[in-house]
Amino acid sequence: MHTPVTIIGAGLGGLTLARVLHVHGIPATVYEAEPSPTARAQGGMLDIHDYNGQLALEAAGLLDEFRAIVLEGRQTMRVLDRDGTVLFDKADDGTGGRPEVQRGELRQILLDSLPAGTVRWGHKAVGARTLGEGRHEVTFANGTTAVTSLLVGADGAWSRVRPLLSTATPGYAGTSFVETYLFDADTRHPAAAKAVGGGSMIAPAPGKEIFAHRESDDTLHTYVVLARPQDWFAAIDFTDAAAATARISQEFDGWAPELTALITDGDTAPVLRPHHTLPAGHRWDRVPGVTLLGDAAHLAAPNGEGANLAMQDGAELGKALAAHPDDIETALTEYEQAMFPRSTAPVIFDGAEVPGIDSDDNTGHRLIDMLNGQGS
C-alpha cells in the first residue's frame, strides 16, 4: 500500500489502527492534541471483552502484553440494594470474558508497539477540508497542516474530521457521571471498601445509581450516575467541592452510609462528566479518502462497549486496508458496511439487554434477574 494513512487522535481506537497497519507493513502517522503521552491521566479501568476488544488486541499481536496488565480478581461483581444489603456477589474465578485493565497501561502497550515517531504529539486538529480526488487537508492549532489521501478521524466526540462526512453533532444524553476517588480505601475508608468488595459494585435505582471499581493501589473509583437535565447540573458550583459533594449526596438521602461515603468521603473534588451521543444509527455516504472510528463515528453514553468498539473499529479498518492495499475505497466501504450495524447493536450482558438508567427496571433485583439469565 503506497498511500500513508493519516490518523487524527491517539486514543485506543486510533492506536489500534496504527498498530494493525504496522503489523501489515503499512505506514501511518498519528496526530494527537496532547503534548505528550503523560500529559493527563487516562481514566480508570476498562473491561476488555473477548468478543471485540480482545479480538482487536489479537489482530494487533498484543494479547500477551495485554494479559500481563490484567488486574486479577477485578471481575468480581456485587449488586447492593440502597440499604447496603448485598443482593448478588459473583467471585472472579478466572473464567470470565471481561478482564479489567487500567486504561493508561493499555494505551501505553499500544504506544510501545509502534515505531518511534509514529505519534506526533502537540497537534490539535482545528479543522479539515476536502481538496478533491480523495485528498484532504487537516489544520492544527500550532499552525501546521497535513495533506493526505487517506484520513481517519479517531478524534472522539467532538471530531474535527466528522464534518467532512456528516452534519451530525453530539447532543446531551440525559445522564451524567460525577466521579470521585477514595485512596488507601481498606485502611482509610473500610466500610466503603467492604461494600465495594474486590472488583466492581453497583447499587442501582430508577434515575440514579452508584457504581464503583476497585482499581490498583487500593483505590476506589466511583461513578455516581444521575439522569438529570444539563441545567440541573449547571446550578451546582463544581468549583466548590464541598457544596457540590453535599448537593450530589442529597440525591441519595436515606441510602446506606457505606454507599454515600463513596460520595461524601472522596479524596478528590467531584468531577462532572456529562454524557453525549450522536443520533441513533448515525451513518454517512461514502466520501473518497476519509472515514471515522470510535466515538467520532458512533458516540454513545457509557455502556461498557465504547473502548472495545473503538479498538474493534481500528483493527477491522486496519485489516480491510491490508486486504485491499491497492483499492482504498473498497477497503473503506467494506469497513463501514460492517461498522455501522455493529455500533448500533443493543448492549447485551449475558444474553439480556441492559435497561437504561432512567428505566423503572434499573433496580438491583431486575439487574440480578438479568445476570442470572432471566432477563428478556
Q: Is 40 annotated as a binding residue?
A: yes
What SS3 state is found at 15?
A: helix
Q: Is 214 annotated as a binding residue?
A: no
Q: Which residues contact 371 (CB under 8 A, 6 or more apart)?
A: 77, 79, 88, 90, 349, 350
Q: Give Cα separations from 314 to 29, 205, 232, 318, 319 (angstroms).
A: 14, 35, 37, 6, 9
Closest C-alpha to 27, from 7, 55, 11: 7
Q: Is 366 annotated as a binding residue?
A: no
Torsions phi, psi for 171 (to 5 deg): -120, 160
Chain mean position to CA 75: 18
Q: Is 295 annotated as a binding residue?
A: yes
**Contact (CB, 8 A) for 87 and 364:** yes
Handedness of CA 147, 127, 288, 319 (dihedral sign): positive
Residue 160 grid cell: 474535527
Feature table: binding site for NADPH: 40
Indicate the annotated binding residues for FAD. 47, 103, 295
Query: From the annotation, which residues make up the binding site?
Result: 40, 47, 103, 295
